[in-house]
Structure 1
Amino acid sequence: MWAYAYDHYIDEYDYFYICGDDMYVVVDNLRAYLDGPDVRSLLDGYLDPLTMAYDAAKARGWLTNATGRPRPLVLGLPLFLGNRPFPSRGSGYVLNRAALQLLGEVGLPSFRAHDVTSQEDVCIGDFFASQGIHCAMFLDKTGARKFGAWMERYWQRRFKIPIKYGLDAVAEQRISMHLKGSRGGKSALPYVIRHYDAVLWGLCNSTTL
């Protein structure tokens, strides 16, 4: 899929978003995020906590003022396979044009080119990590998350980031929600986005709200 996007659309869009078919995406919030201060700060050289923890020196080599070209960005919320971070396709993730170009020119032709796996997001994360690029993580001003994901305690333990839980973890400008529950089946989060959709499109009245 990324090869197709690179071959046919690399010059037509600034950003490329991928997710599974069990996702709800608030497109207006995604557009606002990509056009907002968080992404602009990354393009201007900000290094988020995950990048600083893993490979800040290599990441600085990708900054625009060091290379003369836009900085490759992977945007979303990271998960971890062991100690390896990767952008979760469960919540969806974004590549900017510079990242897709790097993937198309370097990653797809040569990096684990003969692997057969359903873990596309892990492979993508491994490739970009080999280049000193990691999935940038942003919380909103309240500490809530714009992309849905698991492993909150890992982030808190590893990166000393205060993490919210349950409904408090859902940002007002939530971008995506993975429509499956937790492994124990007790998570309320999959239902939040359905209510969000109903409110957004005026499907609730004073009684049902």
Structure 2
Amino acid sequence: MLFFSSKTNRSQAIIGLNVTEGRKFLWGKVKAAFKYIYEHHINDADWFMKADDDTYVIVENLRNMLEQEDTTQLTYFGLRFILKNNTKRIHMDGGAGYVMSKAVLTKLVEIGLENASLCRQQEQGSEDVTLARCLESLGVSYGDSRDESGKQRFFRIPLGAYFKMAVPEEVRRVEYYPSAESFMTFAGSY
């Protein structure tokens, strides 16, 4: 597990990236983190997950999902969202975290990140939407992260909202798979 920020903090094992701090510069921070991981850790794992500091992961469940998948395929997994008002534009939600194969990370860094015709070069931008456009241009596909019953494994909002079936309308509007299915997976499958 690696922790990234705009400043190094050795006492807390935080890797400082040479990036501008702030929410509107998330794409720049994520690009720098992917480059760092590629340069220092590409051979340490088959799968690489981007998660925020408030993301909760049940590692055993993630491992069970990924052991069925081929790490040489250009695929990434997460909570699939539809870009507001555009049902043809899909991305994996950054807040829920997403996982990419070693092949995806390699192609992203070796070919995509430095190529302006494939990936956004500016540091500003929504990291999840910008990454999706970049990966699409590289031929990366969206993996289906639902379980064998078709129920979601990645969640955008606190799980309590799913238990209460109180998923906000603005979230339900952009979820690729209905949130009622998401609720049932957490409650019944794990």
| TM-score, with length taken from structure 1 | 0.57
Q: Which residue of 1 aligns with 2:135?
A: 128
CA contact 1:78–1:87 (8 Å) conserved in 2:
yes
Name the Cα RMSD after superposition. Answer: 2.6
The secondary structure found in structure 1 opposite 2:109 is: helix
CA distance in 1, matches of 2:189, 2:125: 30
User: What does the per-residue CA deviation read over 1:49-72, in whole Å, with 9 as the maximum and x for residues that have no partner?
Assistant: xxxxxxxxxxxxxxxxxxxxx222
Q: Identical aligned pairs, as a percentage?
A: 28
CA distance in 2, matches of 1:166, 1:118: 28
CA contact 1:87–1:125 (8 Å) conserved in 2:
yes
Tell whether 2:189 aligns with 1:170.
no
Structure 2 residue identity aligned to 1:34: L
The secondary structure found in structure 1 opposite 2:113 is: helix
CA distance in 2, matches of 1:148, 1:102: 27
Q: How does 1:14-33 map to 2 (within 5 A)?
A: 14-33=46-65
Q: Which residue of 2 aligns with 1:197?
A: none
Q: Residues 166 and 107 from structure 1, CA distance in 2 versus in 1: closer, same or farther, beyond 3 angstroms? A: closer
Consecutive aligned runs of 4 or more in structure 1 exceeding 6 Å deviation: none
Indicate the structure whose relative CO is greater, using CA pairs within 8 Å and at least 6 residues apart: 1
CA contact 1:152–1:163 (8 Å) conserved in 2:
no
CA distance in 1, matches of 2:172, 2:143: 16
Tell whether 2:114 aligns with 1:109.
yes
The secondary structure found in structure 1 opposite 2:140 is: coil
Tell whether 2:35 aligns with 1:3.
yes
Structure 2 residue identity aligned to 1:121: D
CA distance in 1, matches of 2:175, 2:44: 37
Q: Which runs of 5+ in 2 are unaligned?
A: 1-32, 157-170
Q: How does 1:154-165 map to 2 (within 5 A)?
A: 155=176, 164-165=180-181
Count of paired positions: 139
Q: Which runs of 5+ in 1 are unaligned?
A: 44-69, 157-161, 175-209
Tell whether 2:180 aligns with 1:147.
no
Q: Residues 5 and 88 from structure 1, CA distance in 2 versus in 1: closer, same or farther, beyond 3 angstroms? A: same
CA contact 2:76–2:143 (8 Å) conserved in 1:
yes
CA contact 1:74–1:99 (8 Å) conserved in 2:
yes
Q: Residues 95 and 120 from structure 1, CA distance in 2 versus in 1: closer, same or farther, beyond 3 angstroms? A: same
Q: Residues 86 and 33 from structure 1, CA distance in 2 versus in 1: closer, same or farther, beyond 3 angstroms? A: same
| TM-score, with length taken from structure 2 | 0.62
CA distance in 1, matches of 2:126, 2:174: 23
Q: Residues 165 and 9 from structure 1, CA distance in 2 versus in 1: closer, same or farther, beyond 3 angstroms? A: same
Q: How does 1:82-97 map to 2 (within 5 A)?
A: 82=86, 83-97=88-102
Q: Residues 135 and 107 from structure 1, CA distance in 2 versus in 1: closer, same or farther, beyond 3 angstroms? A: same
CA distance in 2, matches of 1:2, 1:33: 22
**Following TM superposition, by how much is the alpha carbon of 1:138 offset from its aligned partner in structure 2, in angstroms?**
3.2
